[in-house]
Amino acid sequence: MSTISAKDGTKIYYKDWGLGPVVVFSHGWPLSSDAWEDQMFFLASHGYRCIAHDRRGHGRSEQVWAGNDMDTYADDLASLIETLDLKDVTLVGHSTGGGEVTRYVGRHGSSRVKGLVLVGAVTPQMGVSANNPNGVPMAVFDGIRAGVVANRHQFFRDLTVPFFGFNRLDAQVSTALQDVFCYQGMLAGLKNVYDCIKQFSESDFTEDLKKVDVPALVIHGDDDQIVPAETTAVAAAKLLKNATLKLYPGGSHGLPSTNKDQINQDLLAFLRSS
């Protein structure tokens, strides 16, 4: 397997497909880089080099006890970019991964970055706080922690329903997609998954977004039941200096799978324009 070493020695797995301008993907919780394969295959087939890593403790990366925090996630991404000496990179992040790529720019600048794409991202802040009074109540995240500890496989299975919008009228439920979600989730370490809940729910990316000085594309489903669009995507687009906001009508949180053809075309258009 292809791995790089993070600053603390943690082994981070990555996949590297294709040749051409570089696109780096960061996945959502509790998944792995496999969640981006539809986009990677499509873009690599259109002349791009697509790289995606498994967040520490997730997928095939090392399940370390410490360092499960957003700053370290961003630093791990920096280690990947620096080790592979990537330049003129377009960063693409889904959900928690959207926070990760944004924090990367906030901590490490944009000297190696050409563009930023946020898909169903938790930016600028997902959970309720003094600065985000309309955010998701903390009781929701306490419930996620309890569910993960009690029976995380069942919790992941139940989560797939709102995640992919399978509880909506006329939804085409895919048990195969549910199986893949659960498989990826169960590859992650329990401690790593548990710690990450605090990171995607409480991290405030407001100042990071303000530091982004490259073109940005913000994609979100207007029926996202996990990360509500109004307090995240709409707010994030306003904070970014040069952003295009695309709200997918009826779109769920699982857009890279449920709306893969639409996202693929939007990504390709953004890459060609930037």
Which of the residues are catalytic?
95, 224, 253
The two three-digit tokens of residue 90, written as one number: 């377009």
Please state, as a whole number, how many other Cβ atoms lie within 10 Å of the Cβ of residue 140: 14
Asked if residues 30 and 56 have their Cβ atoms less than 8 Å apart, the reply is: no
Nearest C-alpha neighbor of 118 from the set 246, 269, 29: 246
Cα 174 to Cα 95, 143, 166, 180: the distances in Å are: 21, 25, 8, 10
List beta partners, residue 51: 16, 24
Residue 53: strand pairing partners: 14
